Structure 1
Amino acid sequence: MFQAVYNVHLKDRLRGKRLRSQLEQRFNPNFSSRQKDQREMIGITNLFILATAALATIVPKDTAGVARVHADIETINAGLSTVSNDIKNFDPDAIVDDLRSLGKEIIQAGKDVAAGDAVSDTEALAITFYVKNAMAPVVDETILDLRKAKMKITRAGRLEDVTDALQDLGSYVIVLGAALLSKTPEGKKAEGKEVLDGIVTNFQDAVKYLQS
């Protein structure tokens, strides 16, 4: 029920933001696509904060299982954002190095989960929520940035390194996902698996695109 309410609210807010953005671009000649992207990201971030606050009324934020995964996702997201910044500033060496560093962070997250205890149904709901609404969108954004930078990365001679790193990231997410699902109650595994599989597929599709 919480997810359904959140999804409807998100769609309504984003629809309103798209209309406002179109009007701003039409009547304000100084309104850039970069400003548009920044506003959309701020809006989505604010919606996530509101949704997280609502979820906190259901799941205590100091629950060990949830707190551990939440912290790991924040670390992974910080690594993804670093890669996106490398792409925007176009530093090909930093892109490769930071993708590899991100891999280490995902590996560590898998180890943290594997070392933890099984979680309850409610905790599993919260963890799936964080993966779906906090981690997956940042993965999407970073991969989109990489796709857009394909020609630049190719000209810099680092395309093979980038695709190898992305392939590794997909493999590491598979391991992280297996650890998460091993701690998840049987009745909550399907939804979690669907979200995790989507992230893995995103990495795999990015590799295929960059290699094509």
Structure 2
Amino acid sequence: MVRPGRLTVLAGPTAVGKGTVAADIRRRYEQIWLSVSVTTRPPRPGEQEGVHYYFVDDAEFDKLAEAGQLLEWAVVHGRHRYGTPRAAVEAVLAQGRPALLEIDLQGARQVRQNMPGAFFVFLKPPSLDELVRRLVGRGTEDSEERERRLRTAEVEMAAEAEFDISIVNDDVTRATDELVSWMGLTPTKRVDSHH
């Protein structure tokens, strides 16, 4: 179980559903602080500045990285950069509040170097076939991008042993509740809201 003031890092292969689990935590567990990453990629439909990401240009990202203001950063899928603002994470941990970082594998490795006391959780798909289905089903990437992500995912799956625990994302609610219980909180009862 994670002690208060300890960072939890959630990582795993591309398209495994890290963002979906993080969104479920954001919706159902307000006491958990979720880090908002900085990225150079353009927003996807429905993404909001400061909620899903901080969208910046390359020059601004360079400034943050050079000033040591990022806990980790990486070039993802050979194109866009993503990073975690250091000051926000440190401030939340100092308050003793549960904090969660949802990042890619490269980022998780940097966090291990910068904050070795963090708790590392690997989110994995029920199978590689299911991961392929999710990648194709998302429809946000062209075939070349899907192929690149699939190659990346196969490499990323091999990194599971680097993590403290693994959680299978076969059901978002179940995976979220398992993660939350590892963070030392009691899972809440599911409340389905029909609007």
Query: Shared fold by TM > 0.5?
Result: no
The structure that is helix-richer by fraction is 1
Q: Which structure's relative contact order is higher, taking Cα pairs within 8 Å and 6+ residues apart? A: 2
In terms of Rg, which structure is larger?
A: 1
